[in-house]
A and B are shown apart, each in its own frame.
Chain A
Amino acid sequence: MSTHVHTREPGEPRLVDKAQYGMAAFLVVAGGYVLLDALGLDDGFADQPVQPYAVPYIVGAVLVLLGVLLGVATARGDLPESDEGEDIDLTQGTDVVTVAMLAAVLVANLALINFLGWAITGALLFVGATRALGSRTLLRDVGVGVALSVGSWYAFYVGLGVPIPAGILDGVL
Chain B
Amino acid sequence: MDLLLEGFQQALTPTNLLFACLGVILGTAVGVLPGIGPAMALALLLPVTYSVGPDSAIIMFAGVYYGGMYGGSTTSILLNTPGESSSVVTALEGNKMAKRGRAAQALATAAIGSFIAGTIGTVLLWVLTPRVSDLVVKLGAPSYFALMLLSFIAVTTVLGSSRLRGFIALFLGLAIGLVGTQTGQARLTFGDAKLADGIDVVVVAVAIFAVGEALWVAAHLRRKPLEIIPVGQPWMGKQDWKRSWKPWLRGTAYGFPFGALPAGGAEMPTFLSYVTEKRLTNHPEEFGKGAIEGVAGPEAANNASAAGTMLPLLTLGLPTTATAAIMLSALTSYGIQPGPLLMENESDLVWALLASLLIANTLLLVINLPLAPLWAKLLRIPRPQLYAGILFFACLGAYTVNFQAFDLALLLLFGVLGFAMRRFGIPVLPLIVGVILGPKMEGQLTEALAISGGDVSTLWSEPVAVVVYSVIGLLLTAVAVNGLRRPAPAAPVTTEEKELVER
**Residues of chain A whose beta carbon lies under 8 Å from any beta carbon of chain B:** 1-2, 5-8, 19-20, 23, 26-27, 30-31, 33-34, 37-38, 41-42, 44-45, 47-50, 52, 55-56, 59-60, 62-63, 66, 69-70, 73, 76-78, 80-90, 92, 94-96, 98-99, 102-103, 105-107, 109-111, 113-114, 118, 122, 125-130, 132-135, 141, 144-145, 148-149, 152, 156, 160-162, 164-165
Contact = CB atoms under 8 A, between A and B. Distances in A.
A160 B396 CA distance: 14
Given A50-B449, A59-B171, A162-B400, A133 B221 contact: yes
A85 B388 contact: no
B88 interface: yes
Given A23-B420, A34-B178, A102-B218, A110 B392 contact: no
Contact of A59 (B175, B220, B425): B175
Nearest to B178: A56
B221 A98 contact: yes
Interface of B: 34-35, 47-48, 50-52, 75, 79, 81-83, 85, 88, 161-162, 164-165, 167-168, 171-172, 174-175, 178, 183-185, 187-188, 211, 213-223, 226, 267, 382-385, 387-389, 391-392, 395-396, 399-400, 403, 405, 408-409, 411-412, 415-416, 419-420, 422-426, 438, 442, 445-446, 449-450, 453-454, 489-491, 493-494, 497
Q: Closest 10 A-B residue pairs measured CB to CB?
A: A80-B425, A129-B388, A49-B449, A133-B384, A110-B408, A135-B384, A86-B34, A83-B422, A52-B183, A89-B222
A113 B216 contact: no
B167 A66 contact: yes
Contacts of A86: 34-35, 75, 79, 81-83, 226
A125 B392 contact: yes
B187 A162 contact: no
Nearest to A98: B218
Contact of A81 (B162, B175, B382): B162
Contact of A95 (B221, B389, B489): B221
Contacts of A23: 420, 424, 426
Contacts of A19: 423-424
Contacts of A84: 81
Given A37-B187, A88-B222, A99 B383 contact: no
Contacts of B161: 1-2, 81
Given A55-B442, A78-B489, A81-B161, A129 B83 contact: no
A55 B443 CA distance: 11
A103 B409 CA distance: 11
B247 to A, nearest CB: 21
14 contacts: A52-B184, A56-B187, A56-B188, A76-B489, A80-B423, A85-B83, A87-B217, A88-B222, A106-B395, A109-B408, A122-B396, A125-B392, A161-B51, A164-B399
B178 A88 contact: no
A55 B220 CA distance: 38
A160 B391 contact: no
B420 A34 contact: no
A99 B223 contact: no
B184 A1 contact: no
Q: Is the interface of B mostly helix, strand, loop or mixed?
A: helix
A76 B487 CA distance: 12
Contacts of B187: 37-38, 41, 52, 56
Contacts of B416: 103
B39 to A, nearest CB: 13
Given A110-B412, A126-B389, A135-B384, A162 B172 contact: no
Given A34-B175, A160-B51, A66 B164 contact: yes
Nearest to B188: A37
A63 B396 contact: no
B85 A49 contact: no
Nearest to A60: B175
B490 A5 contact: yes
A92 B384 contact: no
Nearest to B493: A1
Contacts of B493: 1-2, 5
Contacts of B389: 126, 148
B298 to A, nearest CB: 13
A160 B187 CA distance: 35
Contacts of A52: 183-185, 187
A26 to B, nearest CB: 8
B480 to A, nearest CB: 15
A135 B172 CA distance: 35
Interface hub of A95, A103, A129, A149 (most chain B Cβ within 10 A): A129
B268 to A, nearest CB: 11
Nearest to B441: A55
Contacts of A145: 388, 392
Contacts of B423: 19, 80, 82-83, 94
Contact of B399 (A55, A85, A113): A113
B396 A118 contact: yes
Nearest to B85: A1
